[in-house]
Amino acid sequence: MKIKKFTRNLHRYLSIFVSIQLLLWTVSGIYFAFNKIELVRGEQYRLPKDIEYRIFDRLGSSIIETIENGEKSYATYPDRKPIKPLTSEEAIKITRQKTSLNPTEAILIESVVPGSEYRGTLPAYKVKTETKDKINVYVGYMTGDISSIRSDSWRIWDLMWSLHIMDYKERDNINNILLKVLSILALVTSISGITLFFVKR
């Protein structure tokens, strides 16, 4: 009888402890769901520049990237001669230079479906490598930048993230309606559970 009473009390007090933390998680989750991170960062106050430049190295050549009215163009620097996009062989060479991986094949990706492992700037090369973790390296079509590195570990993380934020398609939107509705229901559940703890039978 004493063991049963002890177990019941242990369960009761552990439940209230966990419920308070769940309440904190829920409240913070609601805040995130109803506030866009871009607005929190103050991006709405940033004025766009008319023109921007970036100089970088691509396979031993200096390249200048010009962004004018949102449009990007590329040329050699400083003589400003037009450059061609990378070939698949060059994408493989860049991957070998900029990573410790052994690239085997490069495929040009021009469009992706929502929820793809790569959600960056297109077109880009998907460079496959010899690894147990099935690592793919994504290389910029014009720049040669390593945009992303994706492995099985990242894919599992991405799946868990989509389950956490309840965005099962695009896996990036923490302001989706499903998360908002469930957050409110979780808040009601947490508060009602804590309330019941203090209500005498």
Structure-token pair, residue 120? 């960056």
Integer Cα distance of 126 and 106 in angstroms: 5
H-run or E-run covering 189: helix 177-198
pTM: predicted TM-score of the whole model, two decimal places: 0.82
Gap between the terminal Cα atoms of the chain? 20
- Cβ atoms of 107 and 126 closer than 8 Å: yes
pLDDT of 1 reads: 63
H-run or E-run covering 19: helix 2-34
pLDDT tens string, the chain, 201 residues long: the values are: 677 777 777 777 777 777 788 888 888 888 888 888 888 889 889 887 889 999 999 999 999 999 998 889 999 999 999 999 999 999 999 999 999 999 999 999 999 877 889 999 999 999 999 998 999 999 999 999 999 999 999 999 999 999 888 888 888 888 888 888 888 888 888 888 778 777 765
Question: Which backbone phi and psi does 115 adopt, to 5 degrees?
Answer: 90, 5
pLDDT of 200 reads: 60
pLDDT of 201 reads: 56
85-172 — its CATH code? 3.10.450.40
